[in-house]
Structure 1
Amino acid sequence: MNHGSAHQLVLLRHAKAEPAGSLDDQLRPLALPGRKQASEVGAGLRAAGIVPDLVLVSTAVRTRQTWDLVRTALDLPADVARLSDEVYTAGVRSLLALVAAVEESVGTVLVVGHEPTVSQTAAALAGPGSDDAAVARVRVGVPTAAYSVLELDTPWASLQPDAARLLRVVAPA
């Protein structure tokens, strides 16, 4: 699939959630269209042969629900996921630090998080060899259930801006 000991990082924005009415932001559930989006993301990842070895999931309800539907489509065990309050609050720098702390043996990491951090992180990591159209998309932000696929040849621990190739951004139809 990819060359050498390349690592893959997939940054997924949660699927469409209910509007922020009276509920606390952390508690907003997925809207019905969002449930469909999340299942489609799982099917799309499976079709692309992208199977995460580790998933970092924000503790917000909408990200956990997104991951549950993606996981079902990928037929993965629940224990590949780590729920993280830090992903919920993360800016680019903290998200990079979380991924840089991943064990080197992990090949593919999926982050299920929030805007604007997921697109800003993809934009920050996109270095030489990235797809121009994908870079242009993450620079303006991504819609719900969109994911960015990045590849890096360095160890997770040396993850830093411009150190990855942004291969593509996949957004729901």
Structure 2
Amino acid sequence: MARTLVLLRHAKAEPEGDLGDARRPLATKGRKQATALGPRLAEAVGAVDVALVSSALRTTETYRLVSQQLRVREDTISDELYEAGPRQVLAMLQALDAGTSTVLVVGHEPTMSHLAHLLHDAQDDLARQVSLGIPTAAACVLEVPTAWADLDRSTAHLHQLLRPEG
């Protein structure tokens, strides 16, 4: 069974200010980014079986806007994902039901780029680009040839980095 993993960094957020990091909303630019990315994600991956979304306001807002263009069967808003590093997110993915084919994770930097780099099975231009970090509203699309339980270092292939603008 072919599996797809999408690691999406939230769209551009307002500065922290007095709200605190978890309550930062999307900036106007971020709302535009997320709205523009939705159709590109839908075209690239089709439907999503499971969406794992950080509980931070900017990630839930990004997800809400992106998912208007995607068919998502099930989603989970997770406090754990808000502070998770790459290995913690990997553990969440390894625990997924074996029948799940497409997963969207909406999270934060540097976790999204570090996890994509960890999972990618090649040292190519995409790997170098992702190793430097990914911009807001960018999505790493990985092909996963293994079962979720077997997902680990160098077991997936990063084949696309999607951005809202071309």
Instruction: Please say whether Structure 1 and Structure 2 have the same fold, judged by a TM-score greater than 0.5.
Output: yes
| C-alpha contact (below 8 Å) 2:40/2:164 kept by paired residues | no
Instruction: For 1:1-173, list aligned pairs within 5 A.
Output: 5-74=1-70, 76=71, 80-128=74-122, 132-173=124-165
**Is the CA contact 2:34–2:164 (under 8 Å) kept in the aligned structure 1?**
no
Distance across 2 between alignment mates of 1:97 and 1:48: 25
Q: How far has the Cα of 1:119 moved from its partner?
A: 0.3
Task: Indicate conservation of the 8 Å contact 2:41/2:162, yes or no.
Answer: no
Q: Judge conservation of contact 1:137–1:169 (CA < 8 Å) in 2.
A: no
Structure 2 unaligned runs (5+)? none
Identity %: 47
Runs of 4+ in structure 1 displaced over 3 angstroms? none
Secondary structure at the aligned position of 1:99 is classed as helix
Query: Aligned partners of 2:141, 2:96: CA distance in 1, in Å?
Result: 17
Q: Which runs of 5+ in 1 are unaligned?
A: none
